[in-house]
A and B are shown apart, each in its own frame.
Chain A
Amino acid sequence: MSRCGFIPPFVLENLAKANVEEARISAWDSNQTTAKRSAREINVYSLVQAAAKNPLRYVYDCQNKGQQRVKLVRKEGDPATGDQDVNLVYDFAGVTRDFYKNTLKRNSIDDNGLDLILNVHYGVKYMNAYWDGDEMTFGDGDGKIFTAFDKSLDVVAHELTHGVTQYTANLVYKGQSGALNEHFSDVIGSAIQQYYDKVTAEKADWLIGNEIMGPTLYGEALRSMKAPGTAYDNDLLGKDPQPDHMKDYYNGSSDNYGVHINSGIPNKAFYLVSMDIGTDKAALIWYEALKKLIPTADFNFAVKKIADSARDLTNKKQVPQGSTQSVRAAFKEVGLPTK
């Protein structure tokens, strides 16, 4: 079947008018037009409608079924409900949307006002959150090891940023490009957390996922951008395997060839740059670089594009003098680029 087979010609025309052709192709190339979502062709129409509007939030309660969009419980402008998870995910998605708009000048996931679809209470004791190409889904955890994943702003921002990555670099979720995919989500997640908490790079804890740890693992975190490899060490999770230097690069096949493991290397570089020029400026450099990457980008390619972005933004006086040198020094400290 040709690509055009699914989508009526007028929709394509409207997409082209709305300058979202790249996004559509990107989305298609990520194979999100699966059998499951072909039933949701409505999203394509939403994309067209979104061309000139603000992104709206839709929160669905999955009612502990392994199914998305079971019941719409809060949409944009609705008052708070009696469900804390619904309200938190609504608020955190709003904070993330506003950060992208105000700080990074991006209008939602696709930069065209795509609505934000959020699913909470997915599955039974489901210990995860994910982006599926269209929407975000959050589990409740078991209440012992993990609490609900929507209780953390950096988790919500992380998942939403997977959507932004899909509509920009569309990084292949495997190996180094997959680790970069995870890295950019951690970068923006941390930047938004600090923006929300009004803390500087020096005062921030640089931990990812510490807010969702249940009583069993309280005090632990899932990742540390400041000190990769130190976020946790316990009988349940084992020891944090993230390297902070290329010499300790993980070469195994687990976790899609280490997407959540090797992301520690560029994460550390981002931390170092943030300490030098501030997290907001560093995030701007990284975001501009994300838009220049290709789906199969490796670490070396990303380092080059991040340094290029630092130079461009320095020239435009949007980041401090010395930012380019800071980026290069930070990556050198983690062993990048490799020869």
Chain B
Amino acid sequence: MRIDFEREGGYAPLQLEYHADTDVLPVETRDKLLDLVKRSKVMEIQQSDLERSSQSFPDAFTYKLSITEGGKSKSLSFNDITVPASLHPLLELFQELALEQRLKK
């Protein structure tokens, strides 16, 4: 599974991005990530369900998420106001992984 995640905006200027191919991730990280992707049902979310995502709210984060798996691809953009509740655990993990990656550099 290919994952591309970006977060920008916000009161504090901590822009984050996380890009990964789950095939090459450590087993524990991969399993956790795949589990959250499955539980979030992200592949079933339609961008049209997030149609307010083009609207901007002061200091809210904006997110871009792309997932490609077995010929299927999903690209979503949303913000803190429009984010589906099921995605919160996934976003929390992306924040953790992105920060880990940045601190290693």
Contacts and interface: CB of A to CB of B under 8 A. Distances in A.
Chain A complexes with chain B:
yes
Interface of A: 31, 34-36, 65-67, 123-125, 127-133, 137, 142, 145-146, 149, 155, 158-159, 162, 165, 173-174, 178, 181-182, 185, 209, 212, 222, 235-237, 240-241, 254-256, 260
B92 interface: yes
A145 B40 CA distance: 27
Given A31-B55, A130-B60, A137-B80, 17 more contacts: A31-B52, A66-B85, A124-B88, A124-B92, A128-B80, A129-B59, A132-B60, A155-B11, A162-B58, A173-B58, A174-B56, A185-B58, A222-B11, A222-B13, A236-B103, A237-B13, A255-B9
B94 to A, nearest CB: 12
B78 interface: no
A247 B62 CA distance: 28
Main secondary structure of the interface of B (DSSP, over half): loop
Interface residues of B, number: 30
B75 interface: no
A127 B57 contact: no
Interface of B: 8-15, 52, 55-62, 80-83, 85, 88, 92, 95-96, 99, 102-103, 105
A36 to B, nearest CB: 7
A127 B10 contact: yes
A130 B92 CA distance: 17
Contact of A128 (B61, B83, B92): B61
9 contacts: A65-B88, A130-B60, A133-B81, A149-B11, A158-B11, A222-B12, A237-B13, A256-B9, A260-B9
Contacts of B9: 255-256, 260
Given A131-B58, A159-B59, A181-B58, A254 B12 contact: no
A130 B14 contact: no
Most chain A CB neighbours (cut-off 10 Å) among B59, B85, B99: B59
A50 B8 CA distance: 36
B10 to A, nearest CB: 5
B13 A173 contact: no
A132 B12 contact: no
Contact of B95 (A31, A67, A125, A155): A125
B36 to A, nearest CB: 13
A127 B105 CA distance: 21
A133 B57 contact: yes
A77 to B, nearest CB: 29
B8 A162 contact: no
A159 B60 CA distance: 11
Contacts of B52: 31, 34-35
A128 B59 contact: yes
A275 to B, nearest CB: 26
Contacts of A240: 13
B5 to A, nearest CB: 15
Contact of B14 (A34, A149, A173, A236): A236
A255 B8 contact: yes
A255 B55 CA distance: 13
Contacts of A174: 56
A26 B22 CA distance: 46
Contacts of A128: 10-12, 59-61, 80
Contacts of A212: 12
A65 B9 CA distance: 21
A174 B55 CA distance: 10
B83 to A, nearest CB: 7
Contact of B56 (A142, A145, A173, A209): A173
B85 A131 contact: no
A178 B56 contact: yes
A173 B80 CA distance: 15
Contact of B57 (A125, A131, A182, A255): A131
Given A34-B52, A149-B11, A209-B12, A67 B61 contact: no
B88 A66 contact: yes
